[in-house]
Structure formats: structure tokens, C-alpha cells
A = this chain, B = another copy of it.
Amino acid sequence: MDSRVIEHAKILVEWSTEVKPGDQVVINATPDAHELVVALYKEIAKAGGRVVTLMQSEEALRAFYDGASDETLQVIPEHLRAITEKCDVYIALRSPVNTRALANVDSKRIMLNSKTQQEIQNIRLGKRWALTVHPCQSLAQQANMSLEDYRDFVYRATLIDWKEESKLMFEMKDHLERHNDIRFTGPETDLSASTEGRIWIASDGKHNLPSGEVFTAPVEDTVEGKIYFDIPFFQQGKVIEGVRLTFEKGEVVDFSAEKEESTLKEIIEIDEGSRRLGEMAIGTNRGIKQYTLNMLFDEKIGDTIHCALGRAYKDNNGTNESAVHVDMIKKMKEGEIIAGDEVIYSKGKYFYEN
């Protein structure tokens, strides 16, 4: 086995979820993640945990939608709720065989099924949980890479000294929380918002792996200015590029996109909350140097910021509600991140690198 798979498993078990004797561990994995499942079984056993794996499969889910009535989509999976309630640790491995397996399923039916499972999702978020990927062909293809190159990409982003990284990110969180606002500047960009009463969260490999972002929810009606997101992103089955947004009193008042502007329009018009920002964040992972159309990685790219239209996280004290949460990313090498009177990032360096 590639020693990096073992290293990945160790980080998930020892750092992210801190498995201890007697822990009941649930893995959620696709068949393509089998190698990482094998490595995890050994590490979990060494830590004294008991493990069961749920098989995730987009193709099987597609078949379920094919066969199920809307009534069946509303039957609560009580067996899934039972195993979720009984677990201490939940590790999700995303490695679809085909990222587009659900392309032909009506999004209303996907929403209906998600709603049925919302309570189970909430139970899961109350556990020690982690989310990662195992490198596979479908993700390599979406990233425009060979599998071999994609493996290098994933492990460069993931196999880092998270304890050390965590220190820097908590230092950034502390600095950001000394102030009551945040401002992103750069080419075609000057966006600011109040962060009063909001919490900055350092994402340091405890949940997302890779991690590497410090994020908050801005005070909803204080977002002002304009911003140009220069990294493409994947939403509603489309790749949207070159998004420009202008905000007044927290609302999008003008927008454009170089590609898929109509899809951007659909997103903004979904509901009241989708025209406001639910998140403003700073990407810090220097192991990620390029976008791969996978938000788990792209939003963590070092020297970037990102903002999300839509739902805010309660953990940030955010209040914006929406059916969507759409992240958009901007390179910052030519820009600055400023909180109050303090420069957090400038000229390609975070404050702690000066």
C-alpha cells in the first residue's frame, strides 16, 4: 500500500477524530475508497475503536431515485438514524465512481430526499466527524489530471503537520477577532463587512481534510462594495467563471459572469438569503496551488479568499438562511486582507509570515 494512504488514515484517526478505546466508529465510503477503508480499519483497531462502514454509491442512489415514489423519498431511514445515533465518530470518504451520476435526477427530488435526512445529518454534525477524499479517477478527471498527478495533489494538500498549521490558524483567528470588520481588496475588488458578534473559525483538519481556512459569517446587511471572483467553480452541474458582484446593504445589486451568467442568476434568485453572503473566509493551505473544481480543496487554496452566497453557519453566529451555500473564490496575491487597522495579508504574505 502507498505509504501516503496509511499516513492519511493516521491523520484522520489520530488528529481529526481522536479515536480512543471503545469508540464506535462509522465510515461512510464509496467502493472506490476501499484502499483508504482498509488503512483506516487498522488505525482504528490500533486506537481501540470498533468500526462499521456504510457503502456510499452515487450510482446506487441514482437507481434508488429511479425506483422510488415521492412518498418513499419521505420515509425516514430509521436504521440509518439508529447507527448514526450510536456512533461516536463519523468519517466520510468521498470518492465517487462518476461525479455526474445524479445529473439526470430532478433537483426537487434530491431536495426532498435531503429534507427527509436533515435530522440524521444534524445528529452526525454532533459527533466527532471528518470529511475527506480518497484519490480516484472521477475526481482526477474533474481536476483535469491523471490519477497519479491527482494523488500527488491530494497528499500535498492533506499530509501536512496539522498541529503546527493549527497554531498559525488559531493565531489568525485571534487577530481577526480583535476587530469588528473585515475587508478584501485587489483588482476590481473592495468588499467590506462588519463581523461584530460573529465568530471566526479556524478549520485545522478536525473536520475537513484537507483543511486550511479561517472563516466567519458577516453581519448580513453590512456587506458593501464589489468583488471579482477569478477562480471557476462547479455548481448546479455547470462551471461558472469570472463572477463580479456588487453589494449594497448586504444585498447583491449587480452581478455578471464571464461564463454561465444565467446559472449565477438562478442561484442569486433562489430565495431571500441567496442574494446575501453567509460566509467570508481566508484560504491558507499552501499545499494547494491550483483549483480542481472540488470545493473541499479549492476554498482552502493558499493566497485566496472566498465568499459564499446563501446559508450561514450557526457556529459562526451567522443568521442568514437559504436553501443554498455557494462558495466563490478569489486569488489574493495582488490584494490585501484587512481587519480593523490590521493587515492580515498583503503582498503574498500572511501576517505571521512577516
Cross-chain contact of A61 among B41, B61, B72, B87 (Cβ < 8 A): B41
**Contact across chains for A53 and B51 when beta carbons are under 8 A apart:** no
Q: Per-position contact with B for A299-334: 1 when CB-CB < 8 Å, else 0?
A: 000000000000000000000000000000000000
Please tell me if A126 contacts chain B, counting CB pairs below 8 Å: no
Expressed in whole angstroms, the Cα–Cα distance for A46 and B63 within the complex equals: 10
Contact A24 B69 (CB under 8 A): no
Q: Check B24–A41 contact: CB distance below 8 A.
A: no
A52 interface residue per 8 A CB criterion = yes
B-contact bits for A86-110, CB 8 A (1 contact / 0 none): 1100000000000000000000000
Tell me whether B53 and A57 are in contact (CB under 8 A). yes
Chain B residues whose C-beta falls within 8 Å of the C-beta of A341 in the assembled complex: none
A-B contact pairs, 21 of them (CB 8 A): A21-B75, A26-B79, A34-B59, A41-B61, A42-B67, A44-B67, A45-B63, A45-B64, A45-B72, A46-B67, A46-B68, A50-B78, A50-B80, A52-B80, A52-B83, A53-B55, A53-B60, A54-B55, A55-B55, A79-B86, A82-B86
Partner-B contacts on A (CB < 8 A): 21-22, 24-27, 29, 31, 34, 37-46, 48-55, 57, 59-61, 63-69, 71-72, 75-83, 85-87
* Residue in B48, B53, B75, B86 whose CB lies within 8 Å of A50: B75
Which chain B residue has the least Cβ–Cβ distance from A32? B31
The answer on a CB contact under 8 Å between A41 and B54 is: no
B83 touches A85 (CB 8 A): no
Q: Do residues A48 and B69 form an inter-chain contact, with CB atoms below 8 A?
A: yes
Query: What separation, in Å, do the CA atoms of A38 and B38 have in the docked complex?
Result: 23
Interface pair A75/B22, CB less than 8 Å apart: yes
Docked-complex contact B51 and A64, CB < 8 angstroms: yes
